Amino acid sequence: MSIKKSPWIIHYDGSSCNGCDIEVLACLTPLYDIERFGIINVGNPKHADILLITGGVNQQNKTVIKNLYDQMAEPKAVVAIGACACTGHFFAECYNMLGGVDTVIPVDVFVPGCAARPEVIIDGVVKALAVLEKKQQEKVTA
């Protein structure tokens, strides 16, 4: 049973500054190339197993993030990438921000850094795989 062998990811840009965004894309490109592990970036949430979110949540996109999360099939994992997505750092003080992603959906792995380096993002995705496996086990036994 292996989502673990080829997890598909979907990337959504919350309210990030693009810094973490392009680092997520950089993971897909030759130098880091996570396609080596069968990881594919897809555009459709219904196909995806792992949701990568960069940037925090604001008033406008909280429904979008909720929708995306609800549309994904079980089991699913969420990885919050960058200081913005984890806590919102100084943007959390802004009038339009709610804070980190965990204010609207459950987050499984937090990836620190501003901008998060591709290596950390890869580590984060690997961590999310373990979470995914666990969730699948739970589903099978339940």
Partner 1 sequence: MSDILKMFTTVIKSLFKKSTCRQYPFKKPVFFDRTKGHIQIDRERCILCSLCDKRCPTGAINVDRNARTWAINSYKCILCFRCVEVCPVTCLAMQQQYSAPEEIKKSEVVEIPAKAEKAKA
Partner 2 sequence: MAKRTIVPFGPQHPVLPEPIHLDLVLEDEMVVDVLPSVGFIHRGLELLCQKKSFQDMVFVAERICGICSFIHGVGYCQGIEKVMNLDIPKRAQFLRVFWGELSRVHSHLLWLGLAADAIGFESLFMHSWRVREKVLAIFEETTGGRVIFGAAKVGGVRIDISQDKLDQLAIALDEIQKEYEPLAKVFLEDYTVQHRWSEVGYLSKEDAHQLGAVGPTARASGLPQDMRKLRYGAYEDLEVEPIVETAGDCYARCVVRVKEIYQSLDLMRRVIHKIPAGEIETKVTGFPQGEYFSRVEQPRGEVVYYVKGNGTKFLDRFRVRTPTFANIPPLLQMLKGCTLADVPAIVLSIDPCISCTER
Q: Does 22 bind ligand SF4 (CB under 6 A)?
A: no
Burial class (CB in 10 A: 0-12, 13-18, 19+), 126: middle
3-state helix, strand, coil in the chain (%, to 5): 45, 20, 35
Q: Does 97 bind partner 2 (CB under 8 A)?
A: yes
Q: Which of residues 34-93 bind ligand SF4 (CB under 6 A)?
A: 54-55, 82-84
Number of C-beta neighbours around residue 84 at 10 A: 30
Q: Which of residues 30-69 bind partner 2 (CB under 8 A)?
A: 30-31, 42-43, 45, 55-56, 58, 60-61, 64, 68
Q: Does 100 bind partner 2 (CB under 8 A)?
A: no
CA dist 118 and 106 (Å) reads: 23
What interhelical angle do 19-28 and 118-141 show, nearest 10?
80
Residues 23, 121: contact at Cβ < 8 Å? Answer: yes
The smaller minimum CB distance to partner 1, of residues 10 and 118, is found at 118
Q: Which stretches of the chain bind partner 1, using CB under 8 A?
A: 30-33, 36, 79, 83, 86-87, 89-90, 108-114, 117-120, 122-124, 126-127, 131
Contacting residues toward ligand SF4, per CB under 6 A: 16-17, 19-20, 54-55, 82-84, 114-115
